[in-house]
Homo-oligomer: A and B are copies of this chain.
Amino acid sequence: MSKCNDGLMHIGKLAKEAGTTTRTVRYYEEMGLICPECRSSGGFRCYSHEQLARLRMILSLKEMEFDLEHIKVIIDKREKHKTAGELAHDILEDLNGRLREVGEQIAHYKHVRETLTQTIASICACLPCDLRVEERLCPACQTLNQPTCQSVPFFHSPSTAETLELKL
């Protein structure tokens, strides 16, 4: 009847159950993160529910943006500790490290946002400018006595920027 009974499933079902793709599962296998319980006579990968749980572990760690290499390390830790407490202690280091990194990411993107916001403000002042792009200073900038155009490095042409630089 079925070549895949005993509660085993092929890769498609496994992937769907875990909410990922077959390509991802095969890739994880290549990386040594997961491997099928057995193969069917025709060569199909067969997975048990244990594998499914393991795959879900991997994916839950991926949600926290650990890279696969680190995930492998973390999962392997499960076999290196006798008690859950020890394991918890060990894994908490990974989690706290990651937490710090994510904080840095957030800070970084906030900085990028700042840069963008300031650039946008500067360029807005140039909207009413009728000068050619090669010109040096918008009337608006002159009036406001602001170095807007020039403060936006990619707004004015290289030759203009160069001119300005040489004058310094």
Contact = CB atoms under 8 A, between A and B. Distances in A.
Interface of A: 49-54, 56-58, 60-61, 63-65, 74-75, 78, 81-85, 87-89, 91-92, 95-96, 98-99, 102-103, 105-106, 109-110, 112-113, 115-117, 119-120, 123-124, 126-133, 135, 138, 149, 153-155, 157-159, 161-162, 165-166
B57 A158 contact: yes
A26 B59 CA distance: 38
Contact of A133 (B50, B51, B87, B96): B87
A66 to B, nearest CB: 10
Q: Which 5 A-B pairs give the minimum distances between C-beta atoms?
A: A57-B154, A53-B158, A53-B161, A60-B153, A84-B129
Nearest to A131: B84
A127 B89 contact: yes
Given A113-B106, A115-B63, A155 B124 contact: no
Nearest to A61: B154
Q: Mostly helix, strand, loop or mixed at chain A's interface?
A: helix
A154 B60 contact: yes
Contact of A53 (B92, B128, B162): B162
Contacts of A89: 127
Nearest to A125: B88
A76 to B, nearest CB: 12
A64 B119 contact: yes
A84 B132 contact: yes
A135 B88 CA distance: 14
